[in-house]
Amino acid sequence: MPRLGFGTATFPFEPSEVTKKAILQAIEIGYRHFDTTYLYGTKQPLGEAIIETVSVGLTESRDDLIITSKLWCSDAHGELFLPALQRSLL
């Protein structure tokens, strides 16, 4: 796993296209680890950037990238856990 990851936490306040461009630039300069969660609202631009990098040959496949996510602390127990996990993985 890479020692340095690209966090997407500040991007919910940016338009999706700005987020996607930042992720593409990060991949171009060598980032391979990206951190997100459903609360950030950045999964769609991250997914679009991944598709684009594979299609233009910046990475060979999705398997070249590591995506980490997490649950909000209030979702990490009881009946809230599984739905929160599913939201995070979609």
Catalytic residues: 40
Q: Which residue type occupies 73?
A: C
Other residues' Cβ atoms within 10 Å of the Cβ of residue 12: 12
Residues in the chain: 90
Helix (H, G, I), strand (E, B) or coil at 35: strand
Using CA of residue 33, residue 46, residue 51, residue 49, what is the dihedral sign?
negative
